[in-house]
A = this chain, B = another copy of it.
Amino acid sequence: MSNPSVKIVGVGLLGTSLGLALAKHGIVANLEDQSKANLRLAIEYGAGVESEGEPDLVLVCVPPDLTALVVLAQLKKHPRAIVTDVASVKGAIAKEVEEHPELADRYVGSHPMAGREKGGPASARADLFFARPWVITPRAGNSQVAIDLVEDLALRIGALVSVMSVPEHDEAVALVSHLPQLVSTLLAGALNSGTTSQLALSGQGLRDTARIAASDPDLWVQIFSQNAGALKPLVSQLRGELERIDDAISNIDSAGSLAAIHSALADGNRGIAQIPGKHGGKYLEYQVVTVVIDDSPGALAALLTFIGEIGVNLEDLNLEHSPGAAIGLVELEVLPANAQKLIDSLIENGWRLV
Q: B186–A217 contact, CB under 8 A?
A: no
Contacts of A250 in B (CB 8 A): 228, 232, 235-236
Determine if A304 and B297 form an interchain contact, defined as CB atoms under 8 angstroms apart: yes
Q: Is A14 interfacial (CB-CB < 8 Å)?
A: no
| Stretch of A1-9, A67-75, A142-150, A219-227 that contacts chain B | A219-227
A242 near B305 (CB under 8 angstroms)?
Answer: no
Number of copies: 2
Find chain B residues with CB under 8 A from A172 CB.
194-195, 197-198, 201
Interface string of A192-218 (1 = CB under 8 A from B): 111111111111011111111111011
- Find chain B residues with CB under 8 A from A321 CB: 278, 316
A331 to chain B, nearest CB (A): 10
Using CB atoms, name the residue of chain B closest to A200: B276
Given that A243-B239, A271-B188, A323-B278 are contacting pairs, would A183 and B201 also be in contact in the complex, using a CB cutoff of 8 Å? no
A188/B132 in contact, CB under 8 A: no
Which chain B residues lie closer than 8 Å to A206 at the CB level?
A: 176-177, 180, 275
Total interface residues on A, using CB and 8 Å? Answer: 133
Residues in chain B near residue A262, CB distance under 8 A:
217-218, 221
Is A344 positioned at the interface, with any CB of B under 8 Å from its CB?
no
Inter-chain CA distance A132–B322, complex, in Å, is 6
Which residues of the partner chain B approach A265 to less than 8 Å between Cβ atoms? Answer: 185, 215, 217, 220-221
**Chain A 293-314 near chain B by CB (<8 Å), digits 1 or 0:** 0001110111111011100111
Please measure, in the bound complex, the distance between the C-alpha atom of A324 and the C-alpha atom of B271, giving whole angstroms. 22
List the interface of chain A (C-beta within 8 A of B).
113, 116-117, 125-128, 130-133, 135, 160, 162, 164, 168, 171-173, 175-177, 179-203, 205-215, 217-218, 220-221, 224-225, 228, 231-232, 234-239, 241-243, 245-246, 249-250, 252, 257-258, 261-262, 264-276, 278-280, 288, 290, 292, 296-298, 300-305, 307-309, 312-314, 316-319, 321-325, 327, 329, 352-354
6 tightest Cβ-Cβ pairs between the two chains A and B: A298-B308, A301-B304, A217-B265, A185-B268, A188-B271, A131-B322
